Amino acid sequence: MMKEHPNKINSLKHILFGSLIGTTIEFFDFYIFANAAVLVFPQLFFPGSDSTTSTLESLATFSIAFLSRPLGSAVFGHYGDKVGRKVTLVVALLTMGISTVSIGFLPSYASIGIAAPLLLMLCRFGQGVGLGGEWGGAVLLAIENAPPNKRAWYGMFPQLGAPIGLLLSGGTFLLLTDNMSSADFMDYGWRIPFITSSLLVIVGFYIRLKITETPAFENSKVEQQEVKVPFFTLLKSYKNQLIFGTFAAITTFLVFYLMTVFTLSWATSDLGFTKRDALLIQLFSVLFFALFIPISALVADKIGRRKMLILTTIAIAIFGFFFSYFLNSGSTVLVTTFVCMGMSLMGFTYGPLGTFLSELFPTTVRYSGASLTFNMAGILGAAFAPMIAIWLATHYSLTYVGFYLTIAACISLFSLLMISKEEHKF
């Protein structure tokens, strides 16, 4: 087998498709589970309870992936920093893809009893492991090929995979529910997105095989800068970056899952929206999410990634105070405006986040460091966020859900202010 020339540089096309398409596939897989966890799984895998309990049990399986993502970060991060970004990205994609397709073939609780939700949890665990390793490698593929003054711009390519994946997953569910009876959809229609994701995985696998290793990683190999166990080096020398980087990112996760999973669940169960209308509102809001990712990256390259995140986090803290006003209005226009505002803020914070977290660590531990901070933030900011929000709204009011978001934003703001402005060599 021919070896790649060590000086061969990835073209912009390969950077774009290699990072964007991979994360699009990963997030499509991740989000079809989120939609199914609200619309399908409570009835098929957690029957016998009242609707609220079934939804909470279903959302608990949703949270499993966030708990397993740090494991994926540690494992794939280790090999990504030791062996290289390319091979690790291919394996992470396959891990996610196999787990997702398997969900499409799972029998329901009515067929095999308690084994059904247990198998669902196992597949969800695999999804988390795959995504835990995917995100960091995709971001590094982009920014380690970027000019110094365009890191946020390059780094936003993989971030765009999130709204594109959400559009594809939500659009797929909307298409199926519009063209199938409820009985057919609950019987077999919901399985279609999970099974057909295998086609996307094949495309992503082919593209990933064409990627060459990043210049930054090749240079670290030439200069023999490799560390023995990246994870231990992180704990020993980069504790502050891990801790403050994690808390700086929690609000990004929280605002997203409040705008998607929680809002979808609350709108269909308590606000009287049909599933179709709620999905349409969500899909429309994702356009704002996608729009503001590149805008935020352009601004972040001019004023700095940290400053961009600080300003956006302040805006999110203020946004939390309006939670109850919009969602309690009963107005479709106000609810839609609210979700669009939240997703716009999500775009502003998500666009530069990957670049910001990566710049906290040197090349030798960057895959592990960026992945761990991102995915630990996922546990703290998102794993239980929909369940906590539903509990707060049910037992207190939507006002307290807004307080929940504002408090998280204050924690992230403090962490951003504590993080050093130093950027490590690429």
pLDDT tens, 292-317?
999 999 999 999 999 999 999 999 99
CATH hierarchy code of domain 12-418: 1.20.1250.20
Rounded Cα gap, residues 191 and 188, in angstroms = 6
pLDDT tens, 144-193?
878 888 899 999 988 998 899 888 888 888 888 888 888 888 888 889 98
Confidence band, pLDDT 50/70/90 cuts, at residue 3: very low
Q: How far is CA 59 from CA 64, 69, 70, 122, 388, in A?
A: 9, 16, 19, 14, 10
User: What is the 8-class DSSP label of residue 422?
Assistant: -
Rounded Cα gap, residues 120 and 115, in angstroms = 9
Rounded Cα gap, residues 266 and 273, in angstroms = 9
End-to-end CA, the chain: 29
Q: Are 96 and 131 in contact (CB under 8 A)?
A: yes
CA atoms within 13 A on the CB side of 131: 30
Q: Are 214 and 230 in contact (CB under 8 A)?
A: no
Neighbours of 349 (CB within 10 A): 28
Q: Which helix (H) or strand (E) holds 265?
A: helix 263-269
Would you state the pLDDT for residue 6? Answer: 45
Would the pLDDT of 213 be above 50? Answer: yes
Q: Which sign, positive or negative, has the C-alpha torsion 107, 111, 117, 118? A: negative
Query: Given the structure tokens 């999410």, which residue do they identify?
Result: 289
Would the pLDDT of 2 be above 50? Answer: no
Q: Are 119 and 52 in contact (CB under 8 A)?
A: no
